Structure 1
C-alpha cells in the first residue's frame, strides 16, 4: 500500500510573520496545506497576500476559542471572553466550563462563535478542504460534535488528533511535553467520537508528540516510520514575531510564537534533504483537496 503525506502548517492568520513562514515552507519546502484562523489579526494579510502567491496550497479552517478576539460580538459569547472582549480560557479551562452547570449555555455560545468564524472564511471566498481547531479545541467533548457537523455539511476532512502510540519519540523532551497532551486528547475521544465525513482510506495523524519541537531529526524519524495509507503531519513554522504580533494573542501563544523552535521547524521543512528523504522512503506529498477529489468523503 502506498504512503501519502499531507504536511499541514497551523496558525495561518495569527501574525504576518507566521504567514510569511507558511508561504515559504510551502514554496520552498514540503508544506502542502495550511489551517487558517478567521479571528486573528493577520487573517486579511493571509487572504490578500499569501494565498494568491500559493495557489496549490490546501487551506482549511483552524477554529479558535482560546486566543484573540471572537468573530461574534463579545456580548453574544460572554462566557468565552474577558472584559476586554478577548478569549480568556485555554483548553483545560474550556473543558472545565463544559463540565459545569453552564454546559448548555457554553455550547450554545461556542456554536455561535464557530459558525461566525466559518462564515468569515466562506465570505472571503476560501475554498476549504479540511477543518481542525487551534490547540485542538475541536477535540473537546461537545465541541467535536459541532465541528463534525460543519465538516459533514461542507464535505471537509476533520482532523482527529489521536497520534499512534508507536510514534512516541525517543527524545525525553518530546515525551514529557507531548505525551500528556496525547493522553488528554485520547481521553476526549472516549467522551465524544463524533465523526466528520468518512474518508477511505482514513487519515492518520502525527503532530502531538513533537508539537513545538519539530526539528530535522524528528522530521526524518517521522518520514521513515510513516504507516501505509494517508497521514497528516501537523507543523508550526514561523519567523520571529514583532511586538505588534503579540498584542492580540494569548500569553500561551505569545510564548509559543517567540520560541526559537519556530524557525528551527521552518528550517527543517525547507531543508532539501527532506525531499530526498520523502523520495527515498516512497512517500507521496498531497493535500486534502487531492484526497477528496480522488476518494470523495461520504456524509
Structure 2
C-alpha cells in the first residue's frame, strides 16, 4: 500500500501576511491544501490571492469558532459569542477533559449553535470561492458538541470532515491525522516544524498503517494582526521554511510518499 500525504496550510485568511506565506508554501513547497477561515476579514484577500496565484489549489474550510466575528447573526448563536458579538476565545471555553490546558474557562457552547455557524461559514465559503469545499475541519478546539455538529453538517452537505470519531461513509477514504496522540505534538506545534522532524520521522509518517494521512501546518508570514491575535508567531515562519525546503520534498519522494489533496480521497 502506497502512502498518500495531505499537507494543510491551516488558518488561511487569518491575515494578509499569513495568506502570502501560505500561497508561497503551496507554490514552492509541500503544501497541498489551503484551509480557509471564511469568517475572517482577510478571507476575501486570501481567496483572491489564491485565484490569481494558484488557481488549481484545493481550498477547504477551516471552521473557526474562536477568532473574530461569526458569519451568523450573534443573537442566534449566543453560546459562541460575548456581549460584543465576538467569538469567545478558546481559553474561555470549558473543555470536555478537566486536564485540558487550553480550554480552562466556563463557557459551554451548544451543538445547535456550532451547527448553525458551521453552515453559515460553509455558505460564506461558497460566496467567496464560487463552490462548496470538499472538506472542512475545526480550528484550535474540538469537543463533543462541535463533533456532533460537524457530523450533522458532513452528512447533510455530503462533505468530508475531520473530527473524532471520523464520519464513516463509503463515499470517501478514511484520513488519518498523523499527530493525534503523538507526544511531540505540542512541542512541534509551538516551535514550528523542522526538516529533522521528517528525516527522523518524528511525525510518524512511515509508521502509519493508513493509506491517507494528513499533517496540519501553519506556514506563513507574521504581521501585527498575527502578533496581536495568535500565540503562534515564529512557529509559522518555521513551518513555511521547512515546507519549502527541497530536501523535505526529496525525503518524501525517496520514501514513496505521494502528496495529494482532498479531491483524491473521494471514491
TM-score by shorter chain over 0.5: yes
1:144/1:198 CA distance change after superposition, 3 Å: farther
For residues 84 and 141 of structure 1, the distance between their equivalents in structure 2, rounded to whole angstroms, comes to: 26
Mapping of 1:194-209 within 5 angstroms?
195=167, 197-198=169-170, 201-207=173-179, 209=185
Aligned to 1:134: 139
- Listed one character per residue, the Cα deviations across residues 235-269 of structure 1 (whole Å, up to 9, x for unaligned) are 1112121x24556x4xxxx222xx21211110000
Q: Is the 8 A contact 1:238 1:266 kept in 2?
A: yes
Mapping of 1:76-115 within 5 angstroms?
76-90=76-90, 93-95=93-95, 106-115=110-119
Which ranges in structure 1 are unaligned for 5 or more consecutive residues? 97-101, 161-188
TM-score, normalised to structure 2's length? 0.83
Mapping of 1:280-291 within 5 angstroms?
280-291=254-265
For residues 224 and 232 of structure 1, the distance between their equivalents in structure 2, rounded to whole angstroms, comes to: 9
TM-aligned CA deviation for residue 233 of structure 1: 1.1
* Greater per-residue helix proportion: 1
Q: Is the 8 A contact 1:62 1:133 kept in 2?
A: yes
Aligned to 1:156: 159
For residues 109 and 116 of structure 1, the distance between their equivalents in structure 2, rounded to whole angstroms, comes to: 11
Q: CA RMSD in A?
A: 2.7
Mapping of 1:165-244 within 5 angstroms?
189=164, 193=165, 195=167, 197-198=169-170, 201-207=173-179, 209=185, 210-212=188-190, 213-220=192-199, 221=201, 222=203, 225-228=206-209, 229-241=211-223, 243-244=224-225
TM-score, normalised to structure 1's length? 0.75
Q: Is the 8 A contact 2:173 2:265 kept in 1?
A: no
- Tell me the number of residue pairs that the alignment of Structure 1 and Structure 2 aligns: 249
Aligned to 1:52: 52
Q: Is the 8 A contact 1:155 1:197 kept in 2?
A: no
